[in-house]
Structures are given as C-alpha cells and as structure tokens.
Structure 1
Amino acid sequence: DVNLMDECAKALSNYFVDARPSKILTVATTGLVIALPMAKYLQVPVVYARKERNVVMANTFKAAYSSKTVGMNRELLVSTSHLNEEDRILIVDDFLSSGSSQEALLRIVAKSGATSVGVGVLLEKVYDSGRRALSGFNVPVHSLCKVVSVKDGSIQLQEEGYAAT
C-alpha cells in the first residue's frame, strides 16, 4: 500500500529531521521501499549498498555481514564516490533483526569519514536483539513498529511504555 508506506516514511522522517541528514544510506533492494519516500520528505539523495560489485564500481567501501535470510556471510559495497567526510548519513532499512546489515552500513559510513546520524527502520524484531548489536555506534535507533514475539501464528507488538530487554 503506497499510501501507508508514504505515511510511515513521513513519521520516520519527522523523527530524524533535526539530525539534518545530508544523505540516506540503505541496502538495495529491501531498504528502498522506505528510503525513497523518506528522501522526498527529508529532501536528500538516497545511496544504496549493493551485495555484488557491478561494472562501474571501481573503488568501494565494503563491510561483511551475516545474512539470516540466505544463511551465509555476505558483503555490502558502496562506491567511494557516493560518500565523503562532509556527509551526515541516516541509515534506513525495512527490518531490524540481528542488526548485522545495519552494523555493516555503519562501518561503511565510518570508513568513508562521514558522520552517522541515526538508524531508522519500519519494523524491529525486538526478540532478535539487533538494537543491542548497534549500541556501540552511539547513534539513535528508531523503529515505527516493534515486534516482541511471534508464536503459533500470532504476532505480539510492543505497546507504548513497554520496556523490552
């Protein structure tokens, strides 16, 4: 639903507007669904990390991550021409599970000399502890929806005031 995604992008953008990002960094293709409409609201370009080098990517920043989806270690790559030390980068993704891909993006930002201003996601699987994996980067992490558990086909969402560990 494009209208729902637009409303989600507006809400997530409002949370990070004061961080003054100059670019959004996401993973192709999964993160683009939220990154592109957020770019409209924040008026910034989107840079996406690829999982494979293409022919026009001569020099890259790269970082390894562990993909639970495909069950193996992978690598994210961003062209060195897309990030620089003046940039203020907001990392955006659809899901926060283990935090492995977001952690790889944060390492890429650090390698580029740019500043990470936050991590924004649509849905956080609280039970996978991804937020804990990102805690060493000292950036705000915000999710629109937090899933506490999935059991017997039932999804339990975190309610306001609920403190998950």
Structure 2
Amino acid sequence: MEALISRIKRDGTVLGDDILKVDSFLTHQVDPKLMRQIGKMFAQKFADSGITKVVTIEASGNVPAAYVAEELNIPMIFAKKAKNVTMNDELLTAEVYSFTKKITSTVQISRKFLSENDKVLIIDDFLANGQAALGLINILKEAGAQIAGVGIVIEKSFQTGRALVEETGIPVVSLARIAGFEQGQVVFAEADL
C-alpha cells in the first residue's frame, strides 16, 4: 500500500535494531484518512470471506480494526488488557507478551460477543514476534469461531511472528512489510496487498 509506505518513510523513526516508531499517524496520534484507506484495503481483500466480526487488541489496533469493520458493516471487538467492574460475564482470556513494552498482559473478550457461528478477521497495527495474534487466535478458537485471516498494518518480516501465525494454518495479509533496518532507514519487502 503505497500511501502507508510513503508515510512510514516520511514519518517513521527507527529506534535501535528492531523498533519502528510511527506514533505520528498510527500508534498515538492517528491519521483518519490513512486509516480509512487501510480499512478499505482489508475490507476489499476479505469481502467475499463471510466475515461476521473484526477482532483486535487494544489500543493501537482499535482504529484500523474499526475502519475495516465499518467497511464490512459488521461489529468490531477489541480484547481488553485490563478487566473492569462492568466485565462480569464469562471471559475468554490469553496471556500476551509485548516485546515493545516488556510486559505480559492478560487480554480478554466477553464470551457473549463470540460464538461458533462467527467468522473472524483479526486486525492489528504491528506483527513482530506474533504474540498478540497468537493470543487472539487462542481466544477465538476457545470460542469456537472460525478465523478467516490476520490483517496487519505493518509487519516486521525479519522477526518470527509471520511464521508462527502461518504455522497455525491461518493466512497473514500485511500492507507494509519491513525486511529490516539499515543505518536508521527502513528496508521494505514486498507487501501482500
């Protein structure tokens, strides 16, 4: 997706050997026009897949996931990282380690929002080591839902996440794929869309 790649080149900042900071348009401040384009791209890709729900993990995945759900005219669910007093239903949970934040979170979705009748598309902002996607896959399998695919805004292809997700038999579709970082610059691999 050329608009996304151009934005990464212009506004992304490489930190160290394995972190890309994109807080000016995706992970903190959000560019809604770009997110709408991202939503349309994923919606077009999965339009004929019978998707009934879009699922993500809070927080940075929420915006692209919401735009995908809007385009498909279906609900979007985000797995919460902290339980609150209103979450008194039976919960589906998974432990997810964040390599960027260096913490493990218990992510949770109320069972009442997922069933064996659902066909789900997972959407997330980044795919690096695959832990967020695998956590969501485990939750969805526990609910008995089918999983149509995992849609990723930015994939760090030099890390293990894609291979781990594909080992589950679930396809990964990434809009921007990063082969690595060289001298503070992003080196791109061919994207899936």
Q: Helix, strand or coil for the counterpart of 2:36?
A: helix
Query: Structure 2 regions of 5+ residues with no counterpart?
Result: 1-30
Unpaired segments ≥5 residues, structure 1:
none
3-state DSSP class of the match of 2:51? coil
Question: 1:111 pairs with 138, 142, 145, which one?
Answer: 142
Partner of 1:8: 38
Asked if 1:83 corresponds to 2:141, the answer is no
More helix by share: 1
> What SS is found at the alignment partner of 2:70?
helix
- Aligned pair count reads 161
Q: How far is 1:136 from its partner?
A: 2.6
Q: Deviations over 1:39-93 (max 9, x none)?
A: 1111110011001111111220001121112212221110111111111111000
The Cα of 1:159 is off from its aligned counterpart by 3.2
User: CA separation in 1, counterparts of 2:126 and 2:160?
Assistant: 12
What is residue 39 of structure 1 aligned with on the other side?
69
| Matches of 1:38 and 1:19, distance apart in 2 | 13
Aligned to 2:94: 63
TM-score (norm 1): 0.93
Work out the CA distance in 2 between the residues paired with 1:6 and 1:125: 22
Q: Does 2:153 match 1:122?
A: yes
The amino acid of 1:37's aligned partner reads Y
User: Which residue of the other structure, out of 136, 139, 146, is the alignment partner of 2:170?
Assistant: 139
Give every structure 1 segment of 4 or more consecutive aligned residues whose post-TM-superposition deviation is greater than 4 Å. none
Q: C-alpha displacement at 1:160, in angstroms?
A: 6.4
Provide the rounded CA distance (Å) in 1 between the counterparts of 2:188 and 2:85.
43
Q: Spell out, residue by residue over 1:119-161, the C-alpha distance to the aligned partner (whole angstroms, 9 max, x if none).
A: 0011100011211111232111100010111122110111369
Aligned-pair identity in percent equals 31
TM-score, reference length from structure 2: 0.80
**Greater mean deviation of Cα atoms: 136-145 or 151-160:** 151-160
Aligned to 2:4: none
